[in-house]
A and B are shown apart, each in its own frame.
Chain A
Amino acid sequence: MDLFQNLAAAAPQLFTVSTMLLMMVGTLAGLLAGAIPGFTIAMAVVLVLPFTFTMSAVQGLATMIAVYVGGLSGGLMSGILTGIPGTPSSVATTFDGYPLARSGKPGLALGIGVWSSFFGGVIASIVLMVVAPQLALIGLEFQPVDYFALIIFALTVTASLAGDQMLKGLMAALFGLLVATVGSDVVFGQPRFTFGIDSATQGFAFLPVLVGLFAFSRLLNDVRDPEAAHKALGGHDAHAVNIDYIHSAKEVLKRWGNVIRSSIIGVFVGVLPAAGSTISNILAYDQAKKTSREHEEFGKGAVDGIIAPESANNATAGGALIVMMALGLPGDIMTAIMLGALLIHDVIPSPSFISDEPVIAYSIFLAFFVANFMMLALQSVTLRGFVLVTKVKMYMLTAVILFYCALGIFALNNVGYDMWTLFIFGVVGFVLRAFGFPIVPMVLGVVLGQIAEARLSQVFARSDDITIFLSRPWSLFFLLLAAFSIFFPSYQKHRGKAAWTKYYPPALLFVMALPVFMMPGFIRPSIAVAMAVGGIALAVMRLREPARPKEEVQQ
């Protein structure tokens, strides 16, 4: 009942003419940005951020969410029409979208993509509205020590997603944490690591750092090769077509099972820190292929092959928002920027955010829901704009956006120091990328660094006893997960080849049962018992499995 009361309170704030217009512009901008290969959604959200400074919190966040949703859907246009994914979140869309378009059905392929994005987004917004408040209730159980452990988990899982570059991912995350220590210490506000430079006592505001590390380094990477710099953004294949809305809607609804499964995969991946739509669209595609009766059609223009990635990538945004709203922790670049936007409006996300600021929180839920309808309506309009924009050359976009980044970052606090921060971290980001370091762990390190230090100081203000990290169930839960996430890339790499990988899943189940068992109530300890029994049963099964011949393993 609370849900509907809160939605009713938030609706008048959101459904104003000006907010709706801003959201429409945001959706259009997002669709266009998502459609341009090489122009990421995060960059679009970064560019919109300065415009939201003068808006109310609800208006600003609704606009940014519209850009986010538009961006996730925009990638399908270039993916289907040119075979070049507009964003990494539409990579899998090209596998079947492009062949279907090439076979003379571009309108149908686009329509399937658009409807799948829409249903994925709508399902995710329903999950967001239902799950986020519940997760926030669990978040209220968190003490500073649990929060600190959660941040450690977020950073290790982010680094582990760098795969083979795990070591560099962890180093990047630690470097990000180190950057956040420059300025003044969180407890006393005393200058720290300023090396005699007065202005350095301000530290580094995280938005200039984020834009420098991410947008700046990315753009300059794109123009590194003079030939690539002179290329038009979307090649020359793009052409306007009419989207076949009715036929495609029927095709998508016929495959509702795939839509729901892919959306759930999307939401789940979104909840994981830093996993994001880049991973979810591939995972959903893989699952759709495995379960489809027509799996031999995949790669040749299968309808299910378009539905799965497009439902999943839009649903991922819902998952990412769940964590940001319920726990106040950004899981990816987009939610990190949104966290920045909330802080600018003096709104501090935390487990109590949804209950303290129900109007803003439920406006965000509603905005996410509404943005999906806008995306559906505006795809046809954007398609024509996209065809025009694809003619622009990369270097032109780079020069203008670099200036715009400087302008927007200056407007943040009206100080030139932020532009220097942008410049320095632009160089740092570019160099780190060139040396093979993933940028996302570092960005999250910078964003989470001060929060982590503040939580740690609260832990030590209560007691010097460090065993509390192991005696608190949630803290132990996240620390154990962090430990397992460090070994995850190795598990993935050697799965089926090394004997120890057989015991990784049962060990995970069995070990994680311990903190769950320590949690209060009846349900969670019962789940823990089931996890432990499941872990043991799985381990016994794996033990009884006949050893594979060496030749087979080597193959």
Chain B
Amino acid sequence: MSLNRDFFVALFFLILSGVMFVATFQLPPPMFGQMSPALWPRIILVPLALLAFVLLISSQRGEAEEQPRRSLGEWFGYYRNPIVCFALFFLFLVTMPVLGMLIGGLAYVFLTLSVLGGWKPRQLLLHAVITAVFVVGMWAIFTLLLGVFLPEGALLRVF
């Protein structure tokens, strides 16, 4: 058995299709002779499972693209930037109720810039300027010009 990239993708879609198909049986029955809420998802899930199965077979036939093998450490190194960006964005969303859009945005953009761009004093100064101009500028446009109520955050409310 060849454990390549497509094998895992196919397996994921097969499991997903199975779980979702079982979940369709939990849906309420149709009323007034209308279409069942389960019908459309089943119409999607059956071909999805079939195609995933075809992908699984083709992955075992050696039709899958050869991918370089990486250890877990190398994998993290390879995807370091996107992982860090996603983690910071996740933190930005989690802390939104406390920091709000403005402070959270300033922290998020500054940290993302510095993680991706570097931590030398000159770079930090440049990142601080970019953060201040674009985050405060954009925040001002949305709140003052477009009248959008952005999350204020508990911190700003306290002060």
Interface residues of A (CB under 8 A from B): 50-51, 53-54, 167-168, 170-171, 174-175, 177-178, 181, 185-188, 190, 192-193, 195, 220-221, 223-226, 229-230, 393, 395-396, 398-400, 402-404, 406-407, 410-411, 414, 416, 419-420, 423, 426-427, 430, 434-437, 452-453, 456-457, 460-461
Contact = CB atoms under 8 A, between A and B. Distances in A.
Given A181-B40, A220-B82, 7 more contacts: A50-B142, A187-B30, A221-B82, A403-B135, A407-B142, A407-B150, A436-B65
5 contacts: A178-B20, A178-B41, A187-B30, A220-B86, A460-B39
Contact of B113 (A399, A410, A434): A399
Nearest to A170: B51
B34 A193 contact: no
Contacts of B20: 178, 193
Contact of A193 (B23, B48, B96): B23
B51 A174 contact: yes
A192 B23 CA distance: 9
A35 to B, nearest CB: 20
A187 B29 CA distance: 12
B143 to A, nearest CB: 10
Interface in B2-52: 5-6, 9, 13, 20, 23, 27-28, 30-31, 33-35, 37, 39-41, 43-45, 47-48, 51-52
Contacts, number: 165
B41 A181 contact: yes
Nearest to A169: B51
B116 interface: yes
Interface in B75-96: 78-82, 85-86, 89-90, 92-93, 96
B55 interface: yes
Given A185-B37, A430-B82, A399 B109 contact: yes
Residue of A174, A229, A230 with most chain B CB atoms under a 10 A cut-off: A174
A220 B117 contact: no
Of all A-B residue pairs in the complex, the 7 with the closest CB atoms, nearest first, are A185-B37, A395-B116, A399-B112, A220-B82, A457-B35, A174-B48, A460-B35
Interface size for chain B: under 10, 10 to 19, 20 to 34, or 35 or more residues? 35 or more
Given A178-B45, A220-B81, A406 B92 contact: yes
A524 B78 CA distance: 57
A224 B65 contact: no
A398 B138 CA distance: 15
A230 B47 CA distance: 43
Contacts of A50: 142, 146
A167 B85 contact: no
A423 B40 contact: no
Contacts of A221: 82
A410 B81 contact: no
A50 B145 CA distance: 12
Contact residues of A: prevailing secondary structure: helix
A255 B30 CA distance: 63
B73 interface: no
A396 B110 CA distance: 10
A223 B44 contact: no
Given A403-B135, A407-B101, A393 B85 contact: no
B86 A223 contact: no
A416 B93 contact: yes
B62 to A, nearest CB: 15
A50 B138 CA distance: 11
B21 to A, nearest CB: 11
Contact of B148 (A181, A223, A411, A430): A411
Contact of A453 (B40, B48, B92, B150): B40
B54 A167 contact: yes
B85 A223 contact: yes
Contacts of B159: none
Contacts of A404: 134, 138
B116 A188 contact: no
Contacts of B45: 178
Contact of B85 (A220, A400, A410, A436): A220
B128 interface: no
